[in-house]
Amino acid sequence: MRIWPAILLLLGLAGLAFGVDKDGAMTLSIPKDVSRTATAMPKNDRIWSAVILATNPDAPKEPPVELREFAPRLKRMFGYTQFELAGSATEEIDELTENWLLPSPIFPLSVTARRATSKEARGGYLLNLKIFQQNRQVCTSEVKLAPNSPLFIRGPLYGKGQIIIVLQVQH
Amino acid sequence: MKPFEEQFTAWVDGKLTDAELAEFEKQLAEHPDAAADRDDALKLGRLLRAHPPVLEMPNPDFFNHQLLQRIEAETPKPRVVEKKQWSFWSIPGLAWAGASCLIVAGALFATMIPGGPKHLETSTYFAQVVENWSTDPNVTASTVYDPKDQMTVVWLDGLDYIPATYALNK
């Protein structure tokens, strides 16, 4: 019949209209995160950690590439104008095994991760995080961490600035 | 006395006795066509005996039915053009209705939901601290959320100050 192509075109356009939202509720296809949780954990999931030195110099420098997406938010949250990367470390996530991150020898981090099953976690992890200052454990946290949702830790004061530690899951 | 017709039939068949024959022949004078009729009857009898009787069909109704069906099949029918009536409950009608509903739903989603589709796209998940406790009596740990900037900060107070002379990446 002649109207079938028109109907298919309309349905296709409607599908495009709803299909553009990757994680929204209106997505008609299987959400990416749900499909990921149904399969085996990909081996390339990593956790990135960094030690940031935040200061207020007279002539602040541009943040390094790794910190550019965080810098405006860090500025508003902590009130510093310059952010430098003092060190970073990336480790592949080995589930249920303790992973050690050493973005700086002064701040070792122990991370035990397991995949979060809830849909809202968006393919992230539930982390058991132990924060150390040198060889002294100062804090333990249970944190849900998803890709593109970094966790910041306000560390000690350093000189005239502040130490900030950041953790982020990377697919 | 037998009627003439009966005697005539018996005469044709040759079944009259001599007395009956003599009596019957007296009556023939009054029926001049009787001899010709007898010849015709005898000729017909011979003809019928010479040809076998017509066979009876075992299933005459079935034969008639088959014959009528064949005749109907071979007779061209006048083409009747039926005017198709459009019905909403046909497949194309339902498909149109479905497509229209999708378009209306998309338009409502784009216009009625606060913030529109971009609102959902930008509302990204940010880290959640389920539990947080200090393992050092001099240190306090708390959690700070900033939904506007989508930031989660584990706020540690009481950590040892580090002088600027101390290299962080030693």
Residue A66, domain extent: 46-170
Using an 8 Å CB-CB cutoff, list chain A residues near B134.
138-139
- Is B153 in Cβ contact with A148 (below 8 Å)? no
Best to test chain B binding among A120, A122, A158 (most B CBs inside 10 Å): A158
Task: Band the pLDDT of A33: cuts 50, 70, 90.
Answer: very low
Task: Band the pLDDT of A11: cuts 50, 70, 90.
Answer: low
Q: Are residues A34 and A69 in the same domain?
A: no
Into how many domains does chain A fold? 2
- Give the gyration radius of chain A's Cα atoms: 21
In this structure, what token pair is assigned to residue B77?
């029918």
pLDDT value at A14 more than 70 = no
Angle at which helix B34-50 crosses helix B4-13, to 10 degrees, equals 50
Cα-based angle B39, B45, B50 (whole degrees, multiple of 5): 125
Within a domain: B23: yes
CA distance A15 to chain B (A): 9
Higher pLDDT: B51 or A82? It is A82
Within a domain: B29: yes
pLDDT value at A41 more than 90 = no
Residue A5's pLDDT is: 64
Within a domain: B150: no
Using an 8 Å CB-CB cutoff, list chain B residues near A86.
168-169
CA distance A23 to chain B (A): 7
Task: Band the pLDDT of B30: cuts 50, 70, 90.
Answer: confident
Residue B1's pLDDT is: 59
For the ranges A36-40, A52-56, B34-38, B132-136, the one whose mean pLDDT is highest: A52-56
Question: What region does B131 belong to: left with phi over 0, alpha with psi -120 to 50, or beta?
Answer: beta
pLDDT value at A77 more than 70 = yes
- Is A159 in Cβ contact with B164 (below 8 Å)? yes
Residue B34, domain extent: 3-50
pLDDT value at A163 more than 90 = yes
Higher pLDDT: B61 or A16? It is B61
Residue A10's pLDDT is: 66
pLDDT value at B151 more than 80 = yes
Residue A134's pLDDT is: 87
Q: How many CB pairs under 8 A join A and B?
A: 165
B87 touches chain A (CB under 8 A): no
Task: Band the pLDDT of A35: cuts 50, 70, 90.
Answer: very low
Q: Are residues A12 and A67 in the same domain?
A: no
Model confidence pLDDT, tens digit, residues B102-140: 999 999 888 877 655 554 444 466 788 999 899 889 999
Q: Are residues A71 and A150 in the same domain?
A: yes
pLDDT value at A129 more than 90 = yes
Residue A44's pLDDT is: 67
Within a domain: B31: yes
A13-29 in b/e burial notation, b at 16+ Cβ within 10 A?
Answer: ebeebbeebebeeeeee
Higher pLDDT: B59 or B85? It is B59
In this structure, what token pair is assigned to residue B149?
């900037």
As a whole number of angstroms, the distance between CA B153 and CA B12 comes to 138
Q: Are residues A149 and A75 in the same domain?
A: yes
Give the containing element (helix H, strand E) for A152.
strand A151-158
As a whole number of angstroms, the distance between CA B65 and CA B103 comes to 59
Q: Are residues A98 and A132 in the same domain?
A: yes
Mean pLDDT of chain B: 84
Q: What is the pTM of this model?
A: 0.54
- Is B133 in Cβ contact with A156 (below 8 Å)? no
- Is B133 in Cβ contact with A140 (below 8 Å)? yes
Residue A55's pLDDT is: 94
Residue A45's pLDDT is: 83
Residue A43's pLDDT is: 61
Looking at residues B41-54, what average pLDDT do you find?
84
Looking at residues A97-105, what average pLDDT do you find?
89
Into how many domains does chain B fold? 1
Residue A74's pLDDT is: 92
- Is A73 in Cβ contact with B146 (below 8 Å)? yes
Which residues lie closer than 8 Å to A104 by C-beta, 6 or more apart?
A51, A86, A87, B168, B169
Which residues lie closer than 8 Å to B133 by C-beta, 6 or more apart?
A139, A140, A141, B141
Q: Are residues A80 and A117 in the same domain?
A: yes
Q: Are residues A34 and A53 in the same domain?
A: no
Residue A26's pLDDT is: 44
Task: Band the pLDDT of B34: cuts 50, 70, 90.
Answer: confident
Within a domain: B77: no
Residue B153's pLDDT is: 93
Q: Are residues A55 and A25 in the same domain?
A: no
Within a domain: B100: no
pLDDT value at A29 more than 80 = no
